[in-house]
Every structure is written in structure tokens, then in C-alpha cells.
Amino acid sequence: MHVVGLTLDLNWFLQFIFTLFIFALGALHLLKNTASKYFEVDANFDRDQTMSSIPVDPDLSPCAVCSNTASKKCSRCKSVRYCSSACQKLHWNAGHKTKCKENSAQTASIKLFSGVALVPASGTSKIIKKPRKVLFPYDEFVKLFNWEKPGFPPCGLLNCGNSCFANVVLQCLVSTRPLVAYLLEKGHRKECKRNDWCFLCEFQIHVERSSQNPHPFSPINILSRLPNIGGNLGYGRQEDAHEFMRFAIDTMQSVCLDEFGGEKAVDRVSQETTLIQHIFGGHLQSQVICTNCNKISNQYENMMDLTVEIHGDASSLEECLDQFTVKEWLHGENMYKCDGCNDYVKAWKRLTIRWAPNILTIALKRFQSGRFGKLNKRVIFPETLDLNPYMSEDGDDTNLYKLYAVVVHVDMLNASFFGHYICYTKDFCGNWYLIDDHKNFLYAKPSVIPIQSSLEDGVMRVELEDVLSQGAYMLLYSRVSARPSCLRTSGTQGKDEQKSMKAEEERCPKDQIASVAGKESD
């Protein structure tokens, strides 16, 4: 009985310990939920020891408690920063709790009586600008496009582990004159209305640091937020540079629209008047001609870049663009439903560029399914590109472009899932550089192919001939002169097209409209 009694007491004791453990977990969960209302609780603090080797942007404000580099801020007042959750709690208990509440109450009072629209976002309120027809004046953009300051040579970036795909895109964006001119001259951070992390704010810090720092640095503040830029992007994984470029441009466009209430609050016409649309935006025209009644149907689509095939005999960029704009025969199972004939008929279809962007990004479709998934075919590309042969209508010398950045994917055995990205960029003085972050690895990565170990800080001066001999994956061209008019909205033929023309006349200066009026179709 004594043994049995001892066994029963031991079982009771174990059950008591288990019950206490469950209560402790519940109390910890309740404590975290309560603290999250006043602190920025982030699981990354639990991994401080693991992440210590990754450099954090030193331009951030110091910790309010220990003055160390701080990457987190008070989630209520946003006015102070901390390096860890422990410092947050110490500062909170030291009196910041009361001050934080007063600041939050004053901010809320100002917002409620400011007379501007309020849109709830993540449980808080932010000031929203009133939408208007022109979100960013085109004449202001032209000044940025013609920015005459000499700029700065490229600054190397540290590879934080499979981050070369993002680093090359960031280098290309830092070489994009109107975007850099805007961030350095006007700035986005002081006008940003977002309560959460903002890619354009972080990229402005990145540009400012690139212009001032001659030594390589880590873009970890951007890399650690990849899911905020593209939902399927992941930190530490090998990703596609072109995909990241598209996500980055789309994210900057969303930031511009958020200042006016977001995409749903801004009409489609005005969405094409943001700074990002002025830089990268253009229009494609899809024209279908019925072979029976000769009825012409035009549809227009906004474009931020061009992706062209490199199959067949095409060996140059011009031949790839010829294939992109070639007439396609619609017949058989792919017949066209003509509104004029009210029947399925044979027709011709052609895709052309209606309005060319000021900054043109061209991606060569090298990656495919099957085998190793990479086409390493040699494609010749020019320094000066004439887009007139690929326009919907006869153009002029404003459709001439100059090359300023090239992205190259270096692989082994034509593998698309394996390799390394490098890039070539031209500074604002016309000097070309090879940028390769392979030398600047923070971690050992045997899967990456050595490129040029002789690069100092990952950047080396090269000649134009070296650039033009590369197997390009992405090409970035800038117009010789800015487009003479605002970007037109997409539309259809007839009355809708006339309404579109009228809308553009209302938001574009008269002298700009006159220069392109002769190009309008009936």
C-alpha cells in the first residue's frame, strides 16, 4: 500500500506540475498580447545571437536606452527606437508609458481636427492627401529627368546569402537618374504618410548611403522585408532578378497611391500620373484587323517593362523586338470574334508600343521549363536603341534610348535554378562599372560561381565594349530626351478614345499636347 500510495502521490504531483505549465503558457501568451499594444514585439529579438553577424543600417536612430544601433521603434508613438525588447521594457517602465500616451493623444487630436480625409490602416489613422487629376506634375518630373548633377560612382553591396538577385536590381535603380534625383532633391521620407514599413523610405536611405559611403554596406533593411515587396519572395532564397524588379516598381507605385488613399480611391486616369508611372510607365497597343470586313479594333494596356522571346533565328535585340511586334495570324481554333461581322472570322493581330516609357526595361526570356531551364543564346544589343520601328504610329527622335544598366545571370551547365547575378551600370558622368557582390559575402556559399576575385569592394571600372559583349538578361535604357507629353490612359477606339484624349488635354499642358496631336488615330 505504501508503494501504491507513493505511486499515486507521484502521479498527482506530475499532474500538478503539468497544470502549472499550462497556466504559465497561458499567462505568457496573455502578457505578449497585452505588451503588443504598447511595444513592437518581434520574434527577431529572440534570434539576436544568430543575426549578430548581419550588419544593420547605422543611419537609423540610436537606442533610447543604451545608444546602440536600433532597428525597432515604439509601435504607439513611433518617436523613439530600441535595439531590443529588453530596452523597450526598461524605457516603458522609466516613464515613457505616460509620455507615449500624451504624444499619441495629441497626434490623434491633430488628425481629428485637421480637416483632411482619414482612412483606417492596421487599427490606426493616417493623413491622406485629397486625390486629384495629376498626382505628380509632369513638368516637375522633366526637371528630375534632366537633373544635371554629376551623381556618384556605384557603391558595392554586401551579399547577405543568396541576395545577388536583389543587389543587382538595387544597383540598377540607384543608377536611374529621375528616381535618384527625386529622392536626393525632394525626398519621400518627410512626406510619407504610411504607419508601417515603407519600401520607398528605405530605398531613399539606401540611395543616400550609396551617395555618401565609398565602402560596401549591407542592404539588410530591405532584404529582411522581401515579403513586404513581393509576397512570394523569401529572404535567403535564390530568386529571379526580373521578378524582384517588377515587385519593387509595383511597390513604389502602391506607395505613391497610398498617399492619396490607395488604388481604390484614385481613378484609373490619375493612377498613371504618379512619379513611378512617369519614370517606368508606357502603353502597349493590341490591334486586331478583321479580314472579312476590315474592322480595326484597338486595345491599350499599361506597361512597366517588356519581356521578349529569344527563340528562333533572332540574334540581336532588334530582331527580338521584331518578333515581339510581328503580325500574328488568327485562324482555326484561334479565330477572332468580330463585332462588325458578329461571327468568328480570320484576322490579323499585332502588338506594338503606343506610348514608350521614359525608362525602358527589357527582359530577355532566357528561363524556361524543361532540361536545365536556361537559354544562353548570344543576343547582341546596342548602346543606342531606336524604338520607332516598333511603335504603333510613326515616331520621332524622342523614341531614341541610351543604355545605362545591364543585368547578367552567370550559371553553370545552363541551369536556371543555380547561378549568380552581376550587373553593369553607368554613372551620370558616363563611366561604366562592373558590380559583383561575390567578393562581399557574409556567409560561405559554395553554390555560387566565382566571377572576378580581383574586384575591389565588388566594383570595377570597365569599358563599353566589355558591357556590350555580355549575355544580358535585363537591359535598362533611358530616353535621350523625356517624352513630350503625359502618359495617356488606356482606351478603345471611337468615343472612348475621344474621352481619353479630352482627359489628357485637361491634365497636360497645351504645348505638350500640340507636339503629339498630329499622331492621333481616327
**DSSP assignment of 481-504, as one string?**
S--SSPPPPP--STHHHHHHHHHH
Identify the residue with better confidence: 55 or 228.
228
C-alpha cell at 506: 485637361
Cα 286 from Cα 328, distance rounded (Å): 11
Give the pLDDT band of residue 100 (cuts 50, 70, 90). low
Give the pLDDT band of residue 437 (cuts 50, 70, 90). confident
Cα 110 from Cα 12, distance rounded (Å): 59
> Cα 196 vs. chain centroid, distance in angstroms?
17
| pLDDT at residue number 476 | 98
Condensed to tens digits (0 to 9), the pLDDT of residues 64-93 reads 766 666 667 675 565 667 777 777 777 766
Q: Is the pLDDT of residue 115 over 90?
A: no
Q: Are 241 and 473 in contact (CB under 8 A)?
A: yes
Between vectors from CA 161 to CA 155 and to CA 165, what angle results, nearest 5°?
A: 60
Q: How is residue 176 annotated by DSSP?
A: -
Q: Are 264 and 273 in contact (CB under 8 A)?
A: no
Cα 179 from Cα 295, distance rounded (Å): 42
Q: Is the pLDDT of residue 365 over 70?
A: yes
Give the pLDDT band of residue 176 (cuts 50, 70, 90). very high
Q: What are phi and psi of 244, to 5 degrees?
A: -65, -40
| pLDDT at residue number 139 | 92
Taken in order of first residue, the domains within the chain and their CATH numbers are 138-268 (3.90.70.10)
Q: Is 139 exposed, middle or buried (0-12, 13-18, 19+ CB in 10 A)?
A: exposed
Q: Is the pLDDT of residue 408 over 70?
A: yes
Q: Is the pLDDT of residue 343 over 60?
A: yes
| pLDDT at residue number 98 | 60
| pLDDT at residue number 103 | 46
Condensed to tens digits (0 to 9), the pLDDT of residues 454-471 reads 456 789 999 999 999 999
Active site residues: 164, 420
Partnered with residue 69 across adjacent β-strands are 62
| pLDDT at residue number 16 | 81
Q: Name, of 38-42, 411-415, 439-443, the range with top average pLDDT.
A: 411-415
Q: Is the pLDDT of residue 117 over 90?
A: no
Q: Is the pLDDT of residue 377 over 70?
A: yes
Q: How is residue 302 annotated by DSSP?
A: E
| pLDDT at residue number 487 | 73
Average pLDDT estimate for 29-51: 40
Average pLDDT estimate for 5-17: 68
Q: Are 475 and 102 in contact (CB under 8 A)?
A: no
Average pLDDT estimate for 229-246: 86
Q: What are phi and psi of 282, to 5 degrees?
A: -155, -175
Average pLDDT estimate for 319-348: 91
For 306-460, where are the alpha helices, taking DSSP H only? Answer: 317-325
Cα 74 from Cα 80, distance rounded (Å): 6
Q: Is the pLDDT of residue 357 over 80?
A: yes
Q: Is the pLDDT of residue 246 over 80?
A: yes
Identify the residue with better confidence: 91 or 18.
18
Average pLDDT estimate for 88-116: 50
| pLDDT at residue number 325 | 93
Q: What percent of the chain has pLDDT over 70?
A: 68
Q: Residues 256, 262, 265, 269: what is their CA dihedral angle, to the nearest 10 degrees?
A: 40
Give the pLDDT band of residue 96 (cuts 50, 70, 90). low
Q: Name, of 142-151, 175-184, 261-270, the range with top average pLDDT.
A: 175-184
C-alpha cell at 208: 543616400
Give the pLDDT band of residue 438 (cuts 50, 70, 90). confident
Cα 241 from Cα 385, distance rounded (Å): 23
| pLDDT at residue number 175 | 97
Give the pLDDT band of residue 257 (cuts 50, 70, 90). very high
Identify the residue with better confidence: 495 or 313.
313
Count the Cβ atoms, other than its own, within 10 Å of residue 520: 12
Mean pLDDT computed over every residue of the chain: 76
Cα 269 from Cα 126, distance rounded (Å): 24
Give the pLDDT band of residue 417 (cuts 50, 70, 90). low
| pLDDT at residue number 287 | 94
Cα 75 from Cα 83, distance rounded (Å): 14
Give the pLDDT band of residue 35 (cuts 50, 70, 90). very low
**Span of 19-33, 195-209, 246-260 with lowest mean pLDDT:** 19-33
Q: Is the pLDDT of residue 126 over 70?
A: no
Q: How is residue 158 annotated by DSSP?
A: -
Comparing CA positions, the residue from 331, 236, 243 lying closest to residue 292 is 331
List C-alpha distances in Å: 521 to 302, 493, 494. Answer: 18, 9, 10
Q: What b-and-e string marks burial along 191-229, b requiring 16 or more CB atoms within 10 Å of the CB?
A: ebbeeeebbbbbbbbbbbebeeeeebbbbbbbbbbbebb
Cα 170 from Cα 173, distance rounded (Å): 5
Q: How is residue 47 annotated by DSSP?
A: G
Condensed to tens digits (0 to 9), the pLDDT of residues 269-309 reads 889 999 999 999 999 999 999 999 999 999 999 999 999 99
| pLDDT at residue number 50 | 33
Q: Is the pLDDT of residue 404 over 80?
A: yes
Q: Are 380 and 324 in contact (CB under 8 A)?
A: no
Partnered with residue 391 across adjacent β-strands are 353
